[in-house]
Structure 1
């Protein structure tokens, strides 16, 4: 690998770490703000920044453009709500591991290779191991696992929506418009639910702003730069390591201790994700890039 590719690969790793740090920060304010408040505040800040930087053109959009970007906004918003609802209830590494199964299954289903199902079997084994490690779910963790499964489904839907939006919109226009639409929906919901008042505290408001930048603006900017230097296949493989980064950051930043079975399960799912991406056909396989949620 050339020096140019090495620096780009390191940029992808840094982007993933920053994104997981943002997710860890969100976990710290989850009891105060809740998933609705986190998503509303994050989308609001991110939409303002993206619209200033991107300046998307909305006047020339056709009905097809609007339907596409609305679908993208729905999947983005659902993905964020479900992920934050999960990570507030179960360890961050576990939530991300379950979430990454969404694009993995999508990659396997859309592949014409029978060997792809071996990676699906490996991932399924990892999920079964996670379920076994969970033990008794009567202590309120069951909703967390269900939310994570929902996030996996939403991520797969987001990949399909973004694959449609990509050719229709230049640059980051689709992301900027979809984030703005998400903010227009979530901010009133947060206001009605009362979670918006939790950001009256300066420490909480500051944390929300940092989460917005760490979850969206900074990592996506880094990823755009790296994609200009790295082959898409290499980029996809590196992003499949998200469960590992989430597990380490959950341990270091949040003190989330996992069992040996947890680590084994995370290793199985991560290996399956990398294997599915590395052995996928060059054409016709949806991208398994990072979700715009954490």
Structure 2
């Protein structure tokens, strides 16, 4: 019988697994050369849908908090992600992104009181090594702007994860998710119009199907699962699950797109899975240390979930 924590972990892991299918969907169904349009379509319609379903708007401090979280988890993260994707081989960008669990662990230790254990550091380093073997090519080129964008995207994502955990929203999960998607999508929209211009005048059935998948499954569903995990699990545990994205992307490329899979990549995938298992292994009392009430900082601003 699975424990409640294990069930939450498995459900939360579906989010990065879904995000791992984004590359295959983008290359197979979406029009080329429009990554920012894809980002806007992933965020804004999904957010508006969730807001319409929940019929809840932010109140009080949540107007600016939703904007900050939406900018970090969606707007700034997607924009920097696509700059990195354009200027770097995918393997380099993914390897830089693999440091997110370590960044999240450090921020969580300072802002959330989560314990930064040697096992977490070792698991984080192993995760970076595993992703490198999985996706990094020997002839990968480096570009300063691209690396800076990839690192910036990783930093804003880790910050968004920690702040999403620190700020506990009183609203339903779907409403909070919708606010962030709307905020992030609204910030991305003018950037997409400036950089890429108006959307293509005609879209095929395949294009529409790809956009619908990214909107409904890749954002509305996946981010709701991700934020639910952040409400119930330590931020560092959730961040480690993000290592599943490049693993799933590589697996989908092998199974569905006919891409080859080398022995080094298989070893890298096993290392990533081992790092995930090590990071999630808790003692019965848990690895998170709660500070005594008499010495703890008031948790009045403890908020809601991630990107």
TM-score (norm 2): 0.70
| Structure 1 residue 259, shift from structure 2 partner | 3.4
Q: Structure 2 residue aligned with 1:165, among 164, 167, 174?
A: 167
More helix by share: 1
Deviations 1:6-51 (A, max 9, x none): 9877655655544433442124466624321111122222122111
Check if 1:281 corresponds to 2:283: no
C-alpha root-mean-square deviation of aligned residues, in Å?
Answer: 4.1
Q: What SS does the corresponding residue of 2:25 show, helix, strand or coil?
A: helix
Q: Structure 2 residue aligned with 1:114, among 112, 118, 124?
A: 118
Deviations 1:117-146 (A, max 9, x none): 322342354466569x522234x8887666
Check if 1:250 corresponds to 2:256: no
**Paired residue for 1:42?**
42
Number of paired residues? 280
Aligned ranges for residues 68-79 of structure 1 at < 5 Å? 68-76=65-73, 77-79=75-77
Q: What SS does the corresponding residue of 1:198 show, helix, strand or coil?
A: coil
For residues 31 and 90 of structure 1, what CA distance do their matches in structure 2 show?
20
Does the Cα contact within 8 Å between 1:91 and 1:256 map onto a contact in 2? Answer: no
Q: What SS does the corresponding residue of 1:187 show, helix, strand or coil?
A: helix
Unaligned runs of 5+ in 1: 285-289
| Structure 1 residue 75, shift from structure 2 partner | 0.8
Does the Cα contact within 8 Å between 1:15 and 1:220 map onto a contact in 2? Answer: yes
For residues 91 and 216 of structure 1, what CA distance do their matches in structure 2 show?
21
Check if 1:57 corresponds to 2:57: yes
Q: What SS does the corresponding residue of 1:134 show, helix, strand or coil?
A: coil
- More deviation, 82-91/190-199: 82-91
Does the Cα contact within 8 Å between 2:20 and 2:244 map onto a contact in 1? Answer: no
| Structure 1 residue 102, shift from structure 2 partner | 0.3
For residues 201 and 221 of structure 2, what CA distance do their matches in structure 1 show?
22
Unaligned runs of 5+ in 2: 110-114, 291-304
